Amino acid sequence: MDKLVFTCGDVNGIGPEIVLKAFNKISNLKKSSKYYLFIPENVFKKIIELIKPKFEYELFHEENIRNLNSKVTVILQQSVKMNIGKATKESGTASYNSLRSSFNLLKNGTADAVITAPVSKTSFNLAGIPFPGQTELFAHWSKTSNYIMTFLSKELNVALYSIHVPLKKVSGLLKEDVLLNKLSLLQSILKFDLGISKPKIAVLGLNPHAGESGIIGGEEIETIAPVLNRVKGKIYIEGPFSADAFFAKRKYKEFDLTFGIYHDQVLIPFKHINAGKGVNFTAGLPIIRTSPDHGVAYDIAWNGIADESSLIQAVKYARLINRNRRKNATSK
């Protein structure tokens, strides 16, 4: 049985809407599954006026949680002031509270995986939350230093060396030992979490034309290539590739995952190819966390027009990873 906990995301964005829409579609598909949702009480009362639930659910206030035996359990948190379509301190705090409570269910074994609705980094900042995103937050709670932001889809899987950092800092963060650890982790994740028996990984260069033999930059020669040479024979890996030619020639189709050095290098092609139907997976954590590959979409929030497709795909990947981890645990 899959036991999945959902967060509400930023309450001023599309998070509550896409979660309710997803529940309407998935709650009757997997009879052996259980679903939990943490959401402020007033937000839940408001969202069910917009998105009518087509599923039966049980309501608890967070301070009075008892046995979570229902198929869908909605856990009401403290009501919050809303300002639809805006990043606010209050929405940042509500997002954080939902995330923290979901992690507690993972930690105590009540839930197998968390599916997080989109949050706003601006709201986090306004609320004084010292993390640039959910990826870093779950890594901190999990006490995990070697983790990777990964994006999954049928067409293309990508992962990032650096995450939410300014471009001017990327080169200084590129270290051989860190790169080696991340590539080793990626191979393990592809094999054991995603069930790919012989993973093939492509690594992109940092500079235009992958440095053009050192003419445009030396990181490829000095750092990336030496690491790739060290792991060849242990990991099926190629690179460093020039990013523009790599995607233009659709070389990614020859690999199970493409590893980029900075955020937009791989996320622009990933989101272009998947059109909002990809999944964000935090690889390397002891817990399973997936999320849609898009943001809070303040511009369309609470209009009933948000697309829940990416969230539903996040559910499917959470189930896949949970199933594979169970299989690997029983085979040891």
pLDDT digit string (tens) for the chain, length 332 residues: 899 999 999 999 999 999 999 999 987 655 678 999 999 999 999 999 999 999 989 999 998 777 777 789 999 999 999 999 999 999 999 999 999 999 999 999 999 999 999 999 999 999 999 998 899 999 999 999 999 999 999 999 999 999 989 999 999 999 999 999 999 999 999 999 999 999 999 999 999 998 888 888 999 999 999 999 999 888 899 999 999 999 999 999 999 999 999 999 999 999 999 987 899 999 999 999 999 999 999 999 999 999 999 999 999 999 999 999 998 877 66
Contact 199, 191 (CB under 8 A): yes
pLDDT for residue 26: 87
pLDDT for residue 233: 83
Specify the domain boundaries for CATH 3.40.718.10 within the chain. 1-144+285-332, 146-281
Question: What distance lies between CA 11 and its chain's CA centroid?
Answer: 18
Q: Which two tokens stand for residue 72?
A: 């869908």
pLDDT for residue 31: 63
What span, in angstroms and rounded, lies between the C-alpha atoms of 73 and 265? 39
pLDDT for residue 277: 85
What span, in angstroms and rounded, lies between the C-alpha atoms of 162 and 160? 5
Q: Which two tokens stand for residue 227?
A: 């690491």
pLDDT for residue 281: 97
Tokens 């529940």 locate to 23
pLDDT for residue 129: 95
Class of domain 1-144+285-332 as given by CATH: alpha beta
319 vs 4, 120, 154, 316, CA distance in Å? 9, 26, 15, 5
**Left, alpha or beta for 212 (phi > 0: left; psi -120 to 50: alpha)?**
left
Class of domain 146-281 as given by CATH: alpha beta
Give pTM, 2 decimals: 0.93
